């Protein structure tokens, strides 16, 4: 069985604050192929709401989200 959440690329946004996590996520998602997953780690508490809304607005799909000890991890599938 293929693990659909294996990231093709990873982005470290730890230590970065608004609007950097959004700006870098947008830049990095364009570096994976449509259908592939980008893993993003951030510790900006605003990123949980911001990246969720960015994904919804841009149409990309958050296939998994984890929050552990202040680190937010998003697995985002590029859709377009």
Total residues binding other proteins (CB under 8 A): 16
Position 67 contacts other proteins (CB under 8 A): no
In the list 28, 38, 44, 75, the residue contacting other proteins (rule: CB under 8 A) is 44
- The closest of 40, 1, 5 to 22, measured between CA atoms, is 40
Backbone angles phi, psi at 37, to 5 degrees: -115, 135
Q: Is 18 among the residues known to form the active site? A: yes
Among 7, 37, 40, 54, binds other proteins (CB under 8 A): 54
Distances (CA, A) of 76 to 6, 35, 55: 10, 10, 8
Contact residues: other proteins, CB under 8 A: 17-19, 22, 44-51, 53-54, 56-57
């Amino acid at each position: 069985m293929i693990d659909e959440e294996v990231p093709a690329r990873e982005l470290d946004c730890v230590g970065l604050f608004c609007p950097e996590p959004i700006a870098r996520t947008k830049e990095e998602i364009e570096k994976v192929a449509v259908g592939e997953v980008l893993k993003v780690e951030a510790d900006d508490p605003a990123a949980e709401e911001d990246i969720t809304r960015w994904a919804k607005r841009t149409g990309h799909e958050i296939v998994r989200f984890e929050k552990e000890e202040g680190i937010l991890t998003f697995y985002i599938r590029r859709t377009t």
